[in-house]
Copies of this chain bind each other. A is one copy, B any other.
Amino acid sequence: MSRKVRLGIVGFGNQGSNYAKFLTEGKVPNIELVAITDTDPGRRELIAERHPDLAVFDDYVTMLESGQVEAVVTTVPHYLHPQMGIQALERGIHVLIEKPAGVYTKQVRELNEFAASKPDLTFAIMFNQRTNPLFRRLKEIVSSGEIGAIRRTNWIITTWYRPQAYYNQSAWRATWGGEGGGVLVNQAPHNLDLWQWICGVPKSVFAKAAFGFRRDIAVEDEVTVVVDYGDGATGTFTTATHELVGTDRFEITGDKGKIVVTDSQTAVVTRYRRSEQEINVSIPTEDIWKMTRDEFDPNEYYTHETVEFDSAWGGQHATVFENFAANILDGSPLIAPGSDGILGVRLANAIHLSAWTGKEVPMDFDEDEFLGLLNKKIAEEGKFPQRA
């Protein structure tokens, strides 16, 4: 069982170089990093310097066809993920794509359809936050029905602070043509995935997005969303990159309880002793006036549990790599199947579409309408080619 998966990394930017570091340090026992591709000569020199034992490629397909790698991870601009995923799978190479799976659902759907035709190959996505013990526990509590049917969810996650210098780092960042959006496609994909993974996929979306609101960028640095889950259940989601002291507060309310998570570390879980609907009809009339005077103590009706988790930055990425390799080696179930990547992209697209049109958008929106409007933004920007 000591066989290791021979992995190649595509892209030696921030994320790729970080992965190379911890993979060569042996942080992931079932992976051997063997090759890295980067199209930039300066970065290839850097690879040779830092990792003299690794094969270095200037072209992705050449690495795929070299016979040296059996799996790849794609740390490249988002638009390229679907096409690179398909190119790898076509050549019998397992693929771990970075989040987001792509920029628009049409391209991600093509990737998913292609991957479905290669069931023997492993196709996963770097939703590292799904390995966070806190979010795994939330998923368990909600899925088990412990807090009942969801009535409402609210997540304010504005801790993604990014100053202007961050945006000025590279020409593709925070552009329509190079990146395909702002906070929705770069920082918040984790949250868009977790929100839906834990609370379910909504039916429709209304959103306000502020483009270049407090940063000198073309794309959104703030978004506020209302979703409708059907049957009266709703949710809100707010994210931003311009808030120096951000908020991270996630609340899930159900028929039998409630969870409030602060700073993605502390969860207060309230469990009602009976369902709220049963309690509702049992409360005596004489308690009502107390209630309107804040003299009502509902403690007899519920319990509280506070669960603390450590923040586990970095380790989470290693866990996803290990799970990816384990799936290749022995078929262990994937924490984040690649096909799940479309969920966050679809939600991000629906949010953009609603913000652009000023209307509520169903989750089965017209993919071509979205792509048409995105291409219009790309054309107006005039820096990158339109997408098909």
Contact = CB atoms under 8 A, between A and B. Distances in A.
A32 interface: no
B164 A281 contact: yes
B232 A210 contact: yes
A312 to B, nearest CB: 11
A302 B243 CA distance: 12
Nearest to A279: B244
Interface stretch (A81-89, A109-117, A123-131, A222-230): A222-230
A281 B293 CA distance: 49
B240 A247 contact: no
A121 B289 CA distance: 34
Interface string A69-96: 0000000000000000000000000000
A294 B244 CA distance: 12
A311 B294 contact: yes
Nearest to A163: B283
B242 A276 contact: yes
Contact of A280 (B214, B238, B245): B214
A270 interface: yes
A146 interface: no
Contact of A276 (B162, B236, B244, B251): B244
A359 interface: yes
A interface residue count range (under 10 / 10 to 19 / 20 to 34 / 35 or more) = 35 or more
A206 B226 contact: yes
Interface string A156-183: 1010011111100100000000000000
A288 interface: yes
Given A243-B253, A249-B249, A301-B244, A152 B222 contact: yes
A61 interface: no
A43 interface: no
A322 interface: no
A236 B224 contact: yes
Interface in A3-19: 14
Given A163-B288, A214-B232, 19 more contacts: A14-B292, A151-B214, A151-B243, A152-B222, A152-B238, A152-B240, A156-B251, A161-B298, A162-B292, A163-B279, A163-B291, A165-B284, A208-B228, A210-B234, A214-B280, A222-B234, A224-B234, A244-B272, A245-B270
Interface of A: 14, 151-152, 154, 156, 158, 161-166, 169, 206, 208, 210-211, 213-215, 222, 224, 226, 228, 232-234, 236, 238, 240, 242-245, 247, 249, 251, 253, 255, 258, 260, 270, 272, 276-277, 279-281, 283-285, 287-289, 291-294, 296, 298, 301-302, 311, 313-314, 358-360
